[in-house]
Amino acid sequence: MSAPDVARRAARQRLLNAFVREAGIHVLQPGPLRIPLPAGRRALIADVSHRSACGHHEYGDAIMLEQSDGQRAALHHDAFVDALLSELAAAQGDGAGAARKAELGDAIANSIARTERYVRRGRPAPPRGDAHALTRHAEQSLLLGHPFHPTPKSAEGLADADLVRYAPELGASFALHFFAVAQRLVIERRVAPGAWFADELAGAAPTGHALLPVHPWQARYLLGLPAVAALVAAGDVIPLGPRGREVYATSSVRTVCAADFETAWKLPLHVRITNFVRTNPVEHVRRATDASALIAHLAGGWSHDGFGVLLETGFRMLDPDVVGEALAGDFAVLFRQHPFASNGDAPRVLASLLEPGPAGEPPELVGCAHAVGDAGEWLRRFLDISLRPLLTVFARNGLSFEAHVQNTLLCTDGGWPTRLWVRDMEGTSASRERLAANGTLDALPADSPVLYDDGEAWLRLRYHAITNQLGHVVSVLGRHADGGEERLWAVARATIAGWHEAEPYATRLLTAPVLPAKANLVSRFAGLAERPLYVDIANPLRGP
């Protein structure tokens, strides 16, 4: 299959699965599936070649459009996208549907073009014998992206030449640019130990100035802003250009690390990637550092072998009270623990292990399960280092991590899962009620953006840890294992039933009829990036 065909096929599967999930259409078995488009009094007819309990269905390439009079005609790719977006626009009913349809259509085309570029390059074979290279390979091998997102590889603002320089899917590495900023304009906070910069950068900033690392694309963008030009002219911001060792781009595009340095950098990038422009707003910076400070305070009491959290050790930014919140978010950097520089571990981002190859090769996770010969036992061990600590930490400490598959790093030994790390503390939520109950609410400011109502924190945990992470793992293993998903969900139910330390939440998981799922398609269409909509899906942990 050609690269354009692979990219379009991947896009259709994601659009279909997102629409089917968000419309509440139940897929009970493989075979023809009628997908009503009620606003247009039409329907799509697709052939389900593989059915998955959490919605990771696979489809044949032929899609039909059924008119209100029952007449059917085959749809080519562009007509399929148009039919789906026309339905969303008609259902919107607020007069903005046409503009939103055009905007999302352009974003889908952007995502497909990027995917085609990455597929054409191909996915290099995993390296052997080098832990750092294996970790980097996984970060830079996610070619198709989120399985329930309409624009998983869109990057609106990056030109083709920028992709070569900065796209992880093309193996990008580069030197960071640095600015020296007058100390009076800088605010920062440190919440965990760790060097922020390598020794070779010592003395790079003149007296009275602080260093700020900047993505090279962002440096070019910032220097084109009149407000920054004025700061440069006044001597308050000094562009220092590229400095220090090379870093490589991770799967999030704007977070970078050097294989041999203890800190990674979450950088602002004024590019719309998937849903929104990826700067570091003040609220996000506060949430990430408040969460890290709280976790650092609590983690000493945890006893979860094989489970770890990568804290943001702090932030540095321009003072929003002086330069405004928008410009502060365009300069802010979060510093993140990167222990793999020296501890010998070779963690791989879970999303990469779950994605099939562009030519249909089985995901790498399947090879891990085949290597040990027992997918059920593999899943039990995985649950012990993933969902078990996530549930227990929420039950005891009220912390809900955003442990979706791109925020999860997995170490394996001989195929067996041995250690799991969760990253990106900006997505952490803490239950006010749980923190108050265990006496740790005072550890956070009363207005901390990490604080959520208990119900929302619990919803976020179920979505990220079950619907997104476990549902994806089980779908991949079940696709290639004896007994399919049904056997693996039975293994998960039996395993969770024994976790008494995670009560009452273990029981809630096993008895709830539904799980929450993000409505990425409708949310993206409506421009709801920060507050996405959720829908309910059947809970496979409940059993038949």
Q: Over pLDDT 70: what percentage of the chain?
A: 100
Give buried/exposed letters for 446-469 (b at 16+ CB in 10 A, else e): eebbbbbebeebbbbbbbbbbbbb
Q: What is the pLDDT of residue 125?
A: 86
Q: What is the C-alpha separation between 184 and 208, in angstroms, rounded?
A: 8
* Run of H or E including 512: none
Q: What is the mean pLDDT of residues 59-72?
A: 93
Domains of the chain: 3-121 (3.30.310), 157-299+310-341 (no CATH), 348-511 (1.10.510.40)
Task: Give per-residue pLDDT as tens, 124-161.
Answer: 888 888 999 999 999 999 999 999 999 999 999 899 99
Q: What is the pLDDT of residue 283?
A: 96
Number of neighbouring beta carbons within 10 Å of residue 257: 23
For 441, the token pair is 């609410």
Q: What is the C-alpha separation between 203 and 389, in angstroms, rounded?
A: 43
181 touches 209 (CB < 8 A)? yes
Using alpha carbons, list the distances in angstroms from residue 6 to 100, 104, 357. Answer: 26, 20, 10
Q: 35 has which bridge partners?
A: 44
Q: What is the pLDDT of residue 97?
A: 85
Residue of 474, 391, 466, 468 whose CA lies nearest to 434: 391
Task: Give per-residue pLDDT as tens, 353-403.
Answer: 999 998 889 999 999 999 999 999 999 999 999 999 999 999 999 999 999
Average pLDDT, the chain: 95
Q: Pick the more confident residue, 93 or 108.
A: 108
Q: What is the mean pLDDT of residues 469-495?
A: 95
For 117, the token pair is 């570029």
519 touches 534 (CB < 8 A)? yes
Give buried/exposed letters for 233-246 (b at 16+ CB in 10 A, else e): eeebbeebeebbee
pTM of the model: 0.96
Residue of 54, 47, 109 whose CA lies nearest to 78: 109
Work out the angle at residue 57's Cα, subtended by the Cα atoms of residues 52 and 62, and round it to the nearest 5 degrees.
150
Residue with tokens 């707003």: 281
* Run of H or E including 237: strand 237-249
462 touches 516 (CB < 8 A)? yes
Task: Give per-residue pLDDT as tens, 5-56.
Answer: 999 999 999 999 999 999 999 999 999 999 999 988 999 999 999 999 999 9
For residue 543, is pLDDT > 80? no
Residue of 306, 305, 333 whose CA lies nearest to 317: 333
Backbone torsions φ then ψ of 37, nearest 5 degrees:
-115, 75
Task: Give per-residue pLDDT as tens, 205-229.
Answer: 999 999 999 999 999 999 999 999 9
Q: What is the pLDDT of residue 136?
A: 97
Q: What is the C-alpha separation between 423 and 429, in angstroms, rounded?
A: 13
Q: What is the C-alpha separation between 412 and 508, in angstroms, rounded?
A: 30
Using alpha carbons, list the distances in angstroms from residue 312 to 81, 290, 334, 374. Answer: 40, 9, 6, 37
Dihedral angle at the C-alpha atoms of 232, 238, 242, 247, nearest 10 degrees?
-100
Q: What is the C-alpha separation between 164 and 133, in angstroms, rounded?
A: 19
Q: Find the range with the poorest average confidence among 81-95, 276-290, 318-332.
A: 81-95
> 543: which DSSP letter?
-
